[in-house]
A and B are shown apart, each in its own frame.
Chain A
């Protein structure tokens, strides 16, 4: 049973455009929502994260929007650049010692020059 659903599976955006990736979760016990970025040949790395008591978090061109009542969150990449081409994973976690995360299936973003 997948607990975090991510869409779309792939996304092609022109340079300078806005990339939007959406995730939905089911378990209301989740209390931290990170996004990871993975370049080819590398492992995923934390990009940006948000707690559910905040509706939006912005870091540079990357913004997370969070809708607690709808149990949805999304990543917006403004002014998308070819260097942003990567696979993006959303995740949901509970603040337990074991630190397990539930990941979405990933979105492959291609930014065309």
Chain B
């Protein structure tokens, strides 16, 4: 089974702190994604990466950055946390379509971040 592991289930940070959310997948997937999930707003894509060191902005990248130094690890960085970044953050991964895979995303359990 594909496993996507997010390093923390719950985080509490203070306004202005730099926050790192880590995600690791164990199935050699090329694509990795960061979403935030808020009630009534569904899953909103923050950033995604289709290869090591490659990244692209999603729909709501402001206030976030990402890092992908190794294929299995994708980090989300909040440079200066603000209260409006309090949310559930979900990481996901998928195979490249070129490997004959269906476009299915596998999600981690999420990190609930509270910024005080």
Contacts and interface: CB of A to CB of B under 8 A. Distances in A.
B43 A46 contact: no
A1 B66 CA distance: 24
A25 interface: no
Given A45-B107, A49-B104, A9 B40 contact: yes
Contacts, number: 69
A32 B101 CA distance: 11
B48 A100 contact: yes
A105 B41 contact: yes
A97 B33 CA distance: 13
Contact of B110 (A43, A97, A103): A43
A72 B70 CA distance: 39
Contacts of A60: none
Contacts of A94: 103
Interface residues of B, number: 29
Contact of A99 (B41, B43, B105, B110): B105
Contact of B103 (A42, A45, A95): A95
B42 A97 contact: no
A93 interface: yes
A41 interface: yes
Contacts of B43: 44, 89, 103, 106
A49 B102 contact: yes
What is the size category of the interface that chain A forms with chain B? Answer: 20 to 34
A106 B30 CA distance: 26
Interface string A81-95: 000000001000111
Contacts of B56: 98
Given A43-B90, A49-B104, A106 B42 contact: yes
B109 A98 contact: no
B68 interface: no
A99 B42 contact: no
A90 to B, nearest CB: 10
Nearest to B112: A41
B45 to A, nearest CB: 7
Contacts of A104: 42
A42 B42 contact: no
Interface in A1-47: 6, 9, 32, 34, 36, 41-46
